[in-house]
Amino acid sequence: SKSYTITLLPGDGIGPEVISVAKNSLQLVASLEGIKFKFNEMPMGGAALDLTGVPLPEETLLAAKQSDAVLLGAIGGYKWDNNEKHLKPETGLLQLREGLKVFANLRPATVLPQLVDASTLKKEVAEGVDLMVVRELTGGIYFGKPRGFSTNENGEELGFNTEVYATHEIDRIARVAFETARKRRGKLCSVDKANVLEASMLWRKRVTLIASEYPDVELSHMYVDNAAMQLVRNPKQFDTIVTNNIFGDILSDEASMITGSIGMLPSASLGESGPGLFEPIHGSAPDIAGQDKANPLATVLSAAMLLKYGLGEEKAAQRIEAAVLDTLNRGFRTGDIHSAGLNLVGCKEMGEQVLKSI
């Protein structure tokens, strides 16, 4: 029987609670599918800072690299907000992405029929939204050099960063995006600011070039400001969106809020080879941490993405996805997606119900 090592990074806030639920789901589908998991829990983020003084200890990165897939809960919290840059939980996350070379971040934003009312958008605008943002994750202004602080000729302080892309970085994320679109509805929208930025002009040129390898996928281009509008005006027009690191950060969060249920949304970060990184898109929610109130479904669905994209275990992934839908159909809701007449449950109970559905 197949055996995999999974690195679990519970992290901060509600991270440990949601990871615990996701781990149980993985364990149950494993036994049903004849898979074996070895779980390796490691410190990361604020928890690692408190324990070891750094947000991503070497042992954690090493364990992650040597495993078959990494499942992360959430990182960050008020406690570390004013830390210097190299001692921020966020810096640990960026180091993890860089260390695992996971350049392709897949962020689905789907409005489930059961949850259409959770959206702040009108029902007719929100229902049926099913889009995927493919965000470049290890390049652009997040990692570009030079960066830092300096002084100009007037003795003034300057803060600066570099937005930079090399052709191979654009080509590989474009290919992931075209492959993704091909498996979906065959439409790819590349988002840039090519009317102003040279980095975006190169982006548009390369994406257009790579398109010739995918004649079955329909490619369009959109400026980022227009994309931010179109997501509000008519999100259903989108199938797959591909964009750079910073635009992807902004637009994927906007898209997730369009669904109204960010407690439901998973993400996958993939590299050329090596383990992928899977995490819910929500944050560590320090205000409700430890209160058994968190919605674990985004992490459970991240575990499903781990099975599908990380391990190629499609059937096990489908079992989890179906169980989540079944749990919703049976009327169970955590506070963030609760509405009148439905069964309000905590994080643990939601986890139990998912196990039941599996």
Ligand X SMILES: CC(C)[C@H](C(=O)O)[C@@H](O)C(=O)O
- Catalytic-labelled residue, pool 130, 253, 292, 326: 253
Q: What x/- string results for residues 167 through 186 when contact with its own copies is judged by CB under 8 A?
A: xx------------------
Q: Point out which residues bind ligand X (CB under 6 A).
A: 90, 93-94, 195-196, 225, 249
Active-site annotation holds for 253 = yes
Q: From CA 358, how far away is CA 350, in angstroms rounded?
A: 12
Active-site annotation holds for 193 = yes
Residue 26 binds which entry of ligand X, its own copies, none, CB below 5-8 Å type-dependent? none
Q: Which of 197, 288, 325, 355 binds its own copies (CB under 8 A)?
A: 197
Active-site annotation holds for 315 = no
Residue 74 forms beta bridges with which residues? 11
Q: What is the CA radius of gyration of the chain?
A: 20
What count of residues does the chain have? 358
Task: Kindly state the number of chain residues that form the binding site for its own copies, as judged by CB under 8 A.
Answer: 61
Active-site annotation holds for 78 = no
Choice between 214 and 309, CB closer to ligand X: 309
Contact 133, 241 (CB under 8 A): yes
Residue 66 binds which entry of ligand X, its own copies, none, CB below 5-8 Å type-dependent? none
Contact 34, 316 (CB under 8 A): no
Q: CA nearest 190: which of 214, 174, 167, 168?
A: 174
- Catalytic-labelled residue, pool 68, 192, 239, 249: 249
Residue 87 binds which entry of ligand X, its own copies, none, CB below 5-8 Å type-dependent? none
- Per DSSP, the residues of 48-104 read HHHHHSSSS-HHHHHHHHHSSEEEEEE---GGGTTS-GGGSHHHHHHHHHHHHT--E
- Span from 34-42, 88-96, 100-108, 343-351 in contact with its own copies (CB under 8 A): 88-96
Query: Which active-site residues does the annotation give?
Result: 142, 193, 225, 249, 253
